[in-house]
Amino acid sequence: MPNPTGLTPCPSPEAVEKGARYHRDPCPSEGVVVSASRSRTLSLILPVYVPSLLLSAGQGILVPTLPLFAQDRFEVNFSLVSLVVAAAGLGTLISDVPAGMLIERWGRKPVMIAGTFAAAVATMLMGTAAPLAAVTGIFPAYVALVCLRLVAGGGSAMWNISRMAYIADVVPIADRGRALSTFGGVGRIGTFVGPFVGGLIGTWFGLEASFYVAGGLSLIGAAISIFTIHESRQATGRAGKHMQWALVGTVARRHWRDLTAAGSAQVFAQMIRAGRQLIVPLYASNTLGLSVAEIGSIVSISSAVDMSLFLPAGILMDKLGRKFASVPSFIVLAIGMAMVPFTVDYATLLIATCVMGFGNGIGSGTMMTLGADLAPREATGEFLGVWRLIGDAGTSGGPMAVGAIADLIGLGPAAFCLSATGILAASTLVVFVRETLGNPVAPVRINAPPSPVPPA
C-alpha cells in the first residue's frame, strides 16, 4: 500500500491498530499510546461528559413524571400519553438531517450550545403548558405540550449529533468504543439519578416542578459547553449550497448494503430502548398500582445496573469488536421486556427492569460507535444526521407502538411486541451487519482537501 503522507511508517501491527500508521517521529511505544488514550479521555470530561450527565439527568427526571403528568392533567388515553412521550423523538427525527448539515456549516460548538438552550427553555415551559395555553389562546393545552416536546426534541438532535461529531473528530477509531461507551455511560448515570429525583420531586412538589428542574440542569450544561468546547470542525472547501446532500447520496450509494443492514438493526434497537421508558411507568401505575416514588425508584435501580457496565462495554467493543457487545445486549434486553407481563408486584417488576438494565448496559454506546465507524471523515455531520434519523425513527416508533397496542389489547401484549423487536435487532446484527472494528468506511472524495479551522 503506498504511503500517502511521506511520513515514517509504523511496522508494529499493534501501533497500526491504535491509529498510529504514520508518524513524523519514531513509532510510539505501547506506553506512549496508552498514555495518549488516557489523555484524550480526560480531555473529554468537561466539554462532553459533564454536560451530557446534566442533560441526561434532566431527561431522566421526566421518565416517571411525564407520562403521569400527561395522563393526570389532560385526562387522555394511552395513545395520547404515548404521543406526548414520543413527541420529543419526533422532533429529533425531523431535526436530525438539518442538524447534521448545520454542524458542517456553523461548527460543532455553536450548534451544541443552541440545541442545549432550545431544549432547556422548551422543557421549563412544559410545566406551564396549561396556563400558557389558557393565557395565549393560540393552542389547546395538550397541543401546546406536544409542540414543546417537539422543540425539545429538535434541541436534543442538535446536542447529540454535535457531540457525536466532536468525539469522532478528536478520538481515533481504536479508542472510539471506550469514548462513546463512556458518553453513553454518563447518560446512564444521569438516567439512574434522574428518575429517583423525579419521583421525589413529583411527590413532594408536584409533577410540574420536575420540568423546571430538568430545564435548569440543561441550562447549566449549556453554560459549561460555552467555556470548555473548542471547535473541531474542519473546513472542506465544498462548492455549492447543495453539496451536503450530494455527498450524503454518494455515501449512501457506495455503502447502501452496510447502511441498510445497520440501519434496520438501529431501528429495532431504539424501539425497544425507547419503548421500555413508557411501558414500565404505565404498567407499574395502571396494572400494579405503584406510586410515583416507587416507579422512580424502580427505574433508578435498573439504571444503576445499566450504568455500571459502560466501561466493560467499551473494552469489549475496542478489544473484540462492536458486535460482541451489541448482540448480547439486545438479546438480554428482549428477555427482560418479556418478563414484564409476568410481574405481580414491586419486587418482580424490579427484577425484570434490572435484567433490562443489564442488557442495555452492555450495549452502552454500541449504536453510536457503529455510526461513527461508518461515517466518512469528509461528511461526518451529514452522515451522522442520516444515521440518527434512522435510529430516531425507532425511538419515536417504540412509545407510539406501545400506546397503540396497549389501547387495543393491553400493556402485556405491548411488552411482548417490544421484546420481539429486541430479538430482531440482535438477529439483524448477527446475520447482516459487518464488523467495523479495524474496517473503517472508505473515504468519499470532495472538491477540495480539508484544512483545519482555528479553535473558537
Tell me the domains of the chain and their CATH numbers.
Answer: 43-229+242-443 (1.20.1250.20)
At residue 184, the pLDDT reads 78
Residue type, 272: I
Q: Name the nearest CA neighbour of 433 among 275, 313, 269, 314.
A: 269
Most confident of the ranges 31-45, 182-196, 287-301, 374-388: 287-301
Mean pLDDT of 102-114: 86
Q: Among candidates 100, 189, 182, 117, which has minimal Cα distance to 391?
A: 100
393-400 average pLDDT score? 76
144 or 74: which carries more pLDDT confidence? 144
Mean pLDDT on 55-62: 90
Instruction: Taking each helix axis as running N to C, give the angle between helix 380-409 and helix 366-374, from 0 to 180 degrees, rounded to the nearest 10.
Output: 140
Lowest mean pLDDT among 37-51, 59-73, 149-163, 328-342: 37-51
CA-wise closest residue to 275 among 86, 427, 412: 86
Asked if the model's pLDDT at residue 9 lies above 70, the reply is: no
pTM tops 0.85, yes or no:
no
Q: pLDDT tier at 245 (50, 70, 90 boundaries)?
A: low
Q: What percent of the chain has pLDDT over 90?
A: 20
Residues 6 or more apart in contact with residue 33 via CB below 8 angstroms = 15, 18, 20
Of 279-288, 403-412, 419-428, which range is least confident? 403-412
Residue 47 has pLDDT above 90, yes or no: no
Cα torsion angle, 25, 27, 32, 37, sign: positive
Lowest mean pLDDT among 73-77, 179-183, 224-228, 388-392: 73-77
Q: What is the mean pLDDT of residues 106-127?
A: 90
Q: How would DSSP label each residue in 327-389? A: HHHHHHHHHHHHHGGG--SHHHHHHHHHHHHHHHHTTTTHHHHHHHHHS-GGGHHHHHHHHHH
Distance CA 217, CA 51 (A): 9
Q: Could you tell me what percent of the chain has a pLDDT over 70? A: 79
pLDDT for the residue 233:
67
